[in-house]
């Protein structure tokens, strides 16, 4: 209990001011939630027992990948990478009393998480939530044959119980129905709404652009989106990664001061050190994207100190990214050279595969560390144990998401 708490209401205004002054950006992440395995709020005990006995639910096979905060909830995407994964989109209340193994609540419903019905969510890796409370869900993990449904982008109204506002089925020539992998998404609210999405497909990697108002998508393919040989071999938590994993992380620069100025879209291959950028104005121009001319606008930014999975930009132009082989998180002020980036924190137990980031509205940055490489590995044997495999960490930055000014 601090000085201000003791004094109570007498010095309220003094203390409030002090608090704001005192709250400096933290250089550290604290554990908010952690899981040794994932379990859900089942509809009934019978439903749960049936799912366990018919292997519709195999606890150790469930993994979480994308996290996004909205209105006192943390929404969580659970890609189906193995069998026995009954839910692919869920949430936990941020004020959940249990910090260890809190149960996940299927979102928007159990029905919308049923496999083998192409109207419901099949295999979700990530999402973004815009300023209007619309969640842009990419249901596009299609590289493991667990579903035959085409990939889609689904817009949910979080202010209306997750009602489906819009569904867009992605054409096969934009993301392969068998072999595609819509991996991460940023949303640009200008010109009727755009999403920029990485397609991590090994067969056809690229950057997918979706225009909400034109209800249309196109794909950009370039060598800068491929994995790099010299960055392809690295071990995380004893497991060697030696695949050439293509484009994965994506971030969008902060809102420009003058409305007509363009924003930069940053991206990087997972098996890579290089970070690239391209103007959003170029991506939005479908005609230009059909020619080869757009490639002239790709900007090589520089080399990071490690491979990364997810990236996130704040509203002040700071880019945060994980350092996979160094078990840490780095921060780069995009107004300075990439060489000036520094490590926020490194810790071999906390940062096992830093994957997805999210800001809340109070200046906190959340990070999911998930050891997801083990779930992707075809030979790694997953086991139930008390080890904490998923961690949602939190750090105070005093900034907000790139979506806000």
Ligand X SMILES: *[C@@H]1O[C@H](CO)[C@@H](O)[C@H](O)[C@H]1NC(C)=O
The single residue among 111, 233, 362, 387 that binds ligand X, judged by CB under 6 A, is 111
| Burial category of 178 from C-beta neighbours within 10 Å (exposed 0-12, middle 13-18, buried 19 and up) | middle
Per CB under 6 A, does 385 bind ligand X?
no
| 33 touches 99 (CB < 8 A) | yes
The single residue among 71, 100, 215, 405 that binds ligand X, judged by CB under 6 A, is 215
Per CB under 6 A, does 169 bind ligand X?
yes
| Site mask for ligand X (CB under 6 A), range 58-97, x = bound | -x--------------------------------------
Nearer to ligand X, 59 or 256 (CB): 59
3-state secondary structure of 22: helix
Which residues in 26-65 contact ligand X (CB under 6 A)? 39, 41-42, 45, 48, 59
DSSP H/E element including 375: helix 372-376
Residue 153 CB, nearest approach to ligand X (Å): 9
Residue 106 CB, nearest approach to ligand X (Å): 11
| 375 touches 382 (CB < 8 A) | yes
Residue 202 CB, nearest approach to ligand X (Å): 24
| Interacting residues of 70 by C-beta distance below 8 A, sequence separation 6+ | 129, 133, 135, 158
The radius of gyration of the chain's CA atoms, rounded to the nearest angstrom, is 21
Per CB under 6 A, does 390 bind ligand X?
no
Residue 42 CB, nearest approach to ligand X (Å): 4
Comparing C-alpha atoms, which of 43, 77, 49 is closest to residue 63? 77
Per CB under 6 A, does 117 bind ligand X?
yes
The single residue among 31, 51, 58, 103 that binds ligand X, judged by CB under 6 A, is 103
CA pair distance 119, 48, nearest whole angstrom: 24
* Residue 405: count of CB within 10 angstroms of its CB: 10
Comparing C-alpha atoms, which of 282, 355, 271 is closest to residue 312? 355
Residue 77 CB, nearest approach to ligand X (Å): 17
Nearer to ligand X, 35 or 375 (CB): 35
* Residue 83: count of CB within 10 angstroms of its CB: 10
Residue 321 CB, nearest approach to ligand X (Å): 32
Per CB under 6 A, does 107 bind ligand X?
no
Q: In this structure, what are the phi and psi dihedrals at residue 354, rounded to the nearest 5 degrees?
A: -60, 120
Size of residue set near ligand X by CB under 6 A: 15
**Cis peptide bond N-terminal to 108, omega within 30:** yes
Residue 165 CB, nearest approach to ligand X (Å): 10
Which residues in 305-334 contact ligand X (CB under 6 A)? none
Nearer to ligand X, 86 or 249 (CB): 86
Dig out the tokens for 258 from the structure: 């003058």
**Residues of the shown chain interacting with ligand X in the complex, contacts defined by CB under 6 A:** 39, 41-42, 45, 48, 59, 103, 111-112, 117, 119-120, 168-169, 215
């Amino acid at each position: 209990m601090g000085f201000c708490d003791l004094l109570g209401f007498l010095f309220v205004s003094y203390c409030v001011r002090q608090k704001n002054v005192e709250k400096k950006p933290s250089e550290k992440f604290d554990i908010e939630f952690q899981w040794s395995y994932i379990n859900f709020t089942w509809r009934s005990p019978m439903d749960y027992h049936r799912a366990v006995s018919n292997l519709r639910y195999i606890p150790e096979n469930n993994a979480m990948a994308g996290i996004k905060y909205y209105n006192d909830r943390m929404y969580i995407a659970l890609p189906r990478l193995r069998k026995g994964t009954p839910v692919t989109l869920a949430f936990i209340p941020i004020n959940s009393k249990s910090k260890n193994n809190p149960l996940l609540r299927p979102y928007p419903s159990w029905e919308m998480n049923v496999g083998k019905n192409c109207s419901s969510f099949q295999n979700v890796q990530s999402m973004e939530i815009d300023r209007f409370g619309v969640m842009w869900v990419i249901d596009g993990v299609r590289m493991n044959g667990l579903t035959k449904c085409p990939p889609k982008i689904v817009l949910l109204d979080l202010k209306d119980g997750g009602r489906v506002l819009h569904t867009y089925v992605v054409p096969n020539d934009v993301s392969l129905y068998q072999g595609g992998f819509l991996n991460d998404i940023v949303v640009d609210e200008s010109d009727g709404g755009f999403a920029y999405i990485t397609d991590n497909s090994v067969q056809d990697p690229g950057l997918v652009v979706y225009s909400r108002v034109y209800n249309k998508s196109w794909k950009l393919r370039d060598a800068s989106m491929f994995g790099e040989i010299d960055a392809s071999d690295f071990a995380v938590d004893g497991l060697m990664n030696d695949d050439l994993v293509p484009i994965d992380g994506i971030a969008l620069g902060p809102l420009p001061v003058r409305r007509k100025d363009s924003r930069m879209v940053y991206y990087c291959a997972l098996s890579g050190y290089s970070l690239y950028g391209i103007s959003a104005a170029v991506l939005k121009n479908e005609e230009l994207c059909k020619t080869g001319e757009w490639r002239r606008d790709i900007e090589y930014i520089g080399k990071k100190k490690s491979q990364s999975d997810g990236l996130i930009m704040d509203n002040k132009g700071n880019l945060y990214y994980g350092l996979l082989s160094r078990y840490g998180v780095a921060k780069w002020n995009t107004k300075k050279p990439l060489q000036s980036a520094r490590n926020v924190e490194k810790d071999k137990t906390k940062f096992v595969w830093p994957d997805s980031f999210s800001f809340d509205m109070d200046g906190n940055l959340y990070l999911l560390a998930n050891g997801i490489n083990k779930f992707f590995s075809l030979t790694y044997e997953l086991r139930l144990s008390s080890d904490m495999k998923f961690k949602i960490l939190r750090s105070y930055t005093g900034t907000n998401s790139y979506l806000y000014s």
